[in-house]
Structure 1
């Protein structure tokens, strides 16, 4: 017999205290349970490119997907929906019901710290990509997606307090549009509010956003949750529609506080600021979410297993194929690509051996594994990595890592890593205290944000750790060590204090801005000698800086000190001795990360000098850039061959190698315009909080809308991406009625290899308009797979209202403006092949979906 989880009945049976408990998480990852009424707890988990589970520290390994801008670069709704299905399966393996993703925010400019995590600069592409992933996640009705961050969380600078000043038209047409499209096409079960203010009001307390737009205009039934520690108000957030405060235990929604603010049951209602009806409305949304899962499970006993059993051949194959479709061939002037697997190659570059599977912050996770580009090249060419000539060429790190990964330890000599022991007392007074918790850790970035143990008071969160291991240098020389900490740390080598980040701390970006700046020291080491590494750590509350919301974190790292000029010269000489070069450069999760924005668009350190030297030594160089968002390419005119590879998840190296050697024909298209330099981008003057506010001065002219309006040159336009074959568009026909527009054309593969092309449909108004309009706007796309010599008919249907309306600020409604329009069909925003005309006969004002 089906379970009767009756929300109306439960609301009448809940006590006031029980209702209030539902309005906040019980911990970092769970909603509150009411055992008396058999209301289960719901587990949530990060995030946008993989499912972490319930722990930052010592988390169960997971599938890491390509980052957001990479996923959008597939321009493929079907594969994105399949990605969502795999995310849902991963969630089941982590015992989670709610995935905290995808991220639907717009990239106003290239420097946003979380820009890699979102999909695009274009609201239509962002909305369709979001809807596709959500549909995949929610397909089984067992897992729910959370669309975030609602809204205008488009940069990291002062993100908890920044006031985004946005015109109503830009808000509706650009920043809210991905969320509207997600509701229209996928009905996500949850929304997460952003940290910032919007036009003076925090988004987590905004009646306009949560009630007027989301629930009334869009008729969404989504449960609304805060971002972690993202509530700033008690009364308004409850009155205006924020259902759950995360994480727990609550800071703002304590029952004793809420009861004092609740309106009295008298005629005057004196002394109260909100009513029981507000509490009931919030509790109802939580119960409706629980009901969704109970009915899917036909049980109130939800699985809570966390395992890595989805680390299968099928998972790897899908992630590899997904990665193939994200890679964008930017330039192939001399047809150097694809390479032959028997070619005499040399691999150069700091990203070649690095395993940059993701950007940093909450999107990062402990992957099942990560294939580096060098490993991928070895796999595809069936060589051993040691048999492929390689040199780094230059450093590109922001902060140092990769120490623990190289260590051995006494506790488990067969396992790479260091031994980490937990204590209740500091080292100087603990005496013979035995550790209450122990791990073998294998990562140098140690995240203890949500660390819990019965020996640790949840309120004080005071504990101490030691980290012990052995480091054996592979060559003689000077080695730079680094330590940054949320808490305190003393770093020793062979019992000698090398770094003191305890007694004299300087505030930095570490730990989402609550930790220290890094401290460094250089030590001369001998090749092959075994050095003892020891770290004495105190949790976050021991910090000399302001206290953090997290329990603690630590990062320690090492790097061989190099002579930059000598290394670049060495790389160039090596390049000259081989027929072809694969040069892998770019950014990483230390440079692109939640918590801070990039300072500039430049490639790090001496990367540009390395590229210039290698190109001069050997023009037959394939440059592979890894970054989530654009970087400057000052050597672009000298380069003949360039790939954009993003952060490709577990299979990043195999996906890159597949494309480089032709096992996969590249079909990715840029989800972002690629400016020549940072000063060219539309948000250049306004990409920072100044005296509490950030002005969205570019208005609706974001990305290609800006570059086209000003006729400003870019390195590569939005939607650009080449192939190893060629395509031709023909026979455009545009027809339709007042509601929908049908676009028909033929696409032919005119080359000699199978491939995929993206048909991009833009709409432009040609009649005079009541308001300034972009030159054109993306309103539909479709990826078409064609064998060599094959052609196919392609049909696309566009919503007339969605494609032709602007938001009228005077009427506070969308305005479908009568007049003449054009359909422009192309392979990028700058490469239009076919143009057709149509007309909207009657004007119309509208709101909603």
Structure 2
């Protein structure tokens, strides 16, 4: 949507259908909206416009590492040079960050994204980063997750029961400080409930606290798949549902998105008023006006500013975030001369205890693709592997450095979009002989072969898992004995 334009005049010309179409993302495979607002995931870098085989980006230290610098000026520079500038280069208007939730438990699965367990430090660091990001013309920061999004387990259902004092002094504090000092242009709501009400339907938080008390006049969007109603979320102040309806393909399972036709019905039965609908559209169009300098598709570039300045700044961030803990009794470095367990016991054996990972490490960490570089080679077909090899036609070849991939935005003019197949291959040369474990999770169906032998079958029988934004399977595993040095 090109701008600048008269927001009120445009609203007066839009039909109800057109207004409603603006209030959800375009589909589940893109970060864009109907109003051509393009977002890019964070929080420690810029993903750009693609999930699969996208352009490389600067990978900043995690949020906790950034806050460990205690250096607001440094974080402002990082926001300007490494985040905001990269957003503009990759055609994104909105950076989905920073994350300022409280580090209240070591079990918080995304705690590393946040800055600190201290509300003041979190707010100060957030304000610095947002200042830097929004210093780039046409780029907005989307501070998240508002509020109390502090655990991953059952994150869409959990009810965070918080007293008013704790809410104000701990959980809302970093958002309030950022709003006071720099005014982020966007907020993202959390998945969770707060005292019984989902935040994406919580008018007290969005309308009373954020807009009326704090004076926020920007856009409020949901987290991905974090909208759970049509009329309730619209009336409560949620401007934008993300993402939108998925592509209508057999590979992409139908996701029950909340708005669209349901919101039109709510408008007809007066559960949602024209006034409330216009308010939501107004906030979205106002933001579109503010970020129009990079709204043209023609300005989109997948080139990231990999400059000497950026590299030096990355190193400065890493160094400044190093924290030296107390070295009591000079326990570090470990004394190599001290004897081991085997010298004090007989028949010492090793067995694997509780491993520290949820899924096996990506095989691309040790595999080599066909061009000799690290990673995997991907070939795309319209015909299944069960077809006679002479009848299968390779339509596309992609060399990727990652075996962990999300293919929702993959397309090719010769590949059918309803059902297609990918053969992903690579070679490994084990350094040690022994039994190796292989695993695979998938959104679709998959099988893993090692030297032609089926090792993992994640096609015949599948179990629902949390991978691929909740649409994928659990990781199925299998083992095979490999010989050292044999590729």
* Interval containing the TM-score (normalised by the shorter chain): 0.7 to 0.9
Q: 1:95-146: CA deviations, max 9, x gaps?
A: 1111000001112212100111111111111111111111111113321100
Q: Does 1:492 align with 2:465?
A: no
User: 2:250 — aligned with what?
Assistant: none
Match of 1:330 among 325, 333, 337: 325
Which of these residues, 75, 79, 86, is aligned with residue 80 of structure 1?
75
Q: Does 1:504 align with 2:461?
A: yes
* 1:172 to partner: Cα distance: 1.4
**Equivalent runs, 1:677-696 vs 2, <5 Å:** none
CA distance in 1: counterparts of 2:369 and 2:119, whole angstroms: 50
CA distance in 2, matches of 1:405, 1:68: 24
Residue 469 of structure 1 and its aligned partner are, at CA, apart by 2.2
The superposition leaves residues 418-477 of structure 1 with CA deviations (integer Å, 9 ceiling, x where unpaired) of 22122334322476232343311222322234444566777xx64322112222223433
Q: Post-superposition shift, 1:275?
A: 1.4
Match of 2:402 in 1: 443
Could you say if the C-alpha distance between residues 32 and 457 of structure 1 is closer, same or farther in structure 2, counting changes exceeding 3 Å?
A: farther
Partner of 1:599: none
Deviation at 1:317, TM superposition (A): 1.2
Per-residue CA deviation, residues 641-694 of structure 1 (Å, 9 max, x unaligned), is: xxxxxxxxxxxxxxxxxxxxxxxxxxxxxxxxxxxxxxxxxxxxxxxxxxxxxx
Counterpart in the other structure of 2:253? none
State the match for 1:242 in structure 2. Answer: 238
Cα 1:293–1:508, aligned 2, differ >3 Å: closer, same or farther? closer
In 2, distance between residues paired with 1:259 and 1:233? 13
Using structure 1 for the length normalisation, give the TM-score: 0.51
The alpha-carbon distance between structure 1 residues 289 and 77, as it changes in their structure 2 partners (threshold 3 A), is same
Q: How does 1:68-147 map to 2 (within 5 A)?
A: 68-86=63-81, 87-147=83-143
CA distance in 2, matches of 1:475, 1:126: 45
More strand by share: 1
User: Equivalents in 1 of 2:147, 2:4: separation in Å?
Assistant: 36
Asked if the contact 1:146–1:191 (Cα under 8 Å) also holds between the matched residues in 2, the reply is yes
Match of 1:59 in 2: 54
Kindly indicate whether residue 382 of structure 2 is the aligned counterpart of residue 424 of structure 1.
yes
Task: Report the secondary structure of 2:361's partner residue.
Answer: coil
2: distance between equivalents of 1:455 and 1:161?
42
1:397 is displaced (CA, Å) by 4.7
Change (3 A) 1:281 1:103: same
3-state DSSP class of the match of 1:181?
helix
Q: Deviations over 1:33-89 (max 9, x none)?
A: 3xxxxxxx1210011110001222111110000101111111111111111112101
Q: Structure 2 vs 1, CA of residues 396 and 281 (structure 1 numbering), >3 Å: closer, same or farther?
A: closer
CA contact (8 A) 1:480 1:520 kept: yes
Pairwise CA distance, 1:261: 2.0
| CA distance 1:454–1:169, shift in 2 (3 Å) | farther
Q: 1:444 to 1:409 in 2, by over 3 A?
A: closer
Q: Which residue of 2 aligns with 1:157?
A: 153
- Corresponding residue for residue 364 of structure 2: 404
Counterpart CA distance in 2 for 1:395 and 1:232 is 35
* Alignment match, 2:287: 289
Q: C-alpha deviations, 1:349-406, integer Å up to 9, x for none?
A: xxxxxxxxxxxxxxxxxxxxxxxxxxxxxxxxxxxxxxxxxxxxx9855432242343
Aligned residues: 456
- Paired residue for 2:267, among 259, 262, 266? 262
**Secondary structure of 1:319's partner?**
helix
CA distance in 2, matches of 1:437, 1:466: 11
Contact kept, 8 Å, 1:401 with 1:444, in 2: the verdict is: no
User: Aligned partners of 1:32 and 1:274: how far apart in 2?
Assistant: 21
| Cα 1:78/1:430, change in 2 over 3 Å | farther
Alignment of 1:320 onto 2:354: no
Aligned equivalent of 1:280: 278
> In the aligned structure 2, how far is the partner of 1:31 from the partner of 1:144?
15
> 2:486 aligned with 1:529, yes or no?
yes
Partner Cα distance (1:457, 1:229) in 2: 27
Distance in 2, matches of 1:24 and 1:508, equals 26
> For residues 292 and 63 of structure 1, what CA distance do their matches in structure 2 show?
26
Q: Aligned-pair distance for 1:3?
A: 6.5
Unaligned runs of 5+ residues in structure 1 are 34-40, 264-270, 347-393, 531-849
In terms of fraction of residues, the more helix-rich structure is 2
CA drift of 1:253 comes to 5.5
Q: Which runs of 5+ in 2 are unaligned?
A: 247-255, 338-353
Comparing 321-330 with 14-23, greater Cα deviation is found at: 14-23
Q: Distance in 2 between matches of 1:131 and 1:210?
A: 20
CA distance in 1, matches of 2:374, 2:240: 41
- Are the aligned partners of 1:424 and 1:456 in contact in 2 as well (CA < 8 Å)? yes
Q: 2:349 is matched with which residue?
A: none
Pairing 1:699-848 to 2, within 5 Å after superposition: none
CA 1:92/1:437 → structure 2, altered by over 3 Å: closer, same or farther?
A: same
In 1: Cα distance, 2:297 partner to 2:400 partner: 33
Residue 518, structure 1, aligned to residue 478, structure 2? no
Aligned to 2:425: 468
**Alignment CA distance shift 1:172-1:85 (3 Å):** same
Please provide the CA RMSD for this pair: 2.7
| Match of residue 29 from structure 1 | 31
Matches within 5 A, 1:570-585: none
Q: Distance in 1 between matches of 2:149 and 2:12?
A: 38
Please tell me whether Structure 1 or Structure 2 has the larger radius of gyration of its CA atoms: 1
CA contact (8 A) 1:23 1:253 kept: no
What is the CA deviation profile of residues 179-200 of structure 1, one whole-angstrom value per residue up to 9, with x for unaligned ones?
1111101100000011111111
Change in 2 beyond 3 A, CA 1:246/1:451:
farther
Which position in structure 2 is the counterpart of 1:356? Answer: none
1:231 Cα deviation after fit: 0.5
**Distance in 2, Cα, partners of 1:111 & 1:435:** 45
The reply on whether 1:200 has 2:200 as its aligned counterpart is no
| TM-score of the aligned structures, taking structure 2 as reference length | 0.86
User: 2:325 aligns to what SS in structure 1?
Assistant: strand
Matches of 1:282 and 1:478 in 2, distance apart? Answer: 57
Instruction: Give the conservation status (yes or no) of the 8 Å contact 2:90–2:303.
Output: yes
Asked whether the 8 Å contact 2:220–2:238 carries over to 1, the reply is yes
CA contact (8 A) 1:401 1:445 kept: no
Whole-angstrom distance in 2 between the partners of 1:457 and 1:262:
38
Residues 244, 257 of structure 2: 8 Å contact kept: no
Contact 2:381–2:415 (CA under 8 A) maintained in structure 1: no
SS of the residue 1:247 aligns to: coil
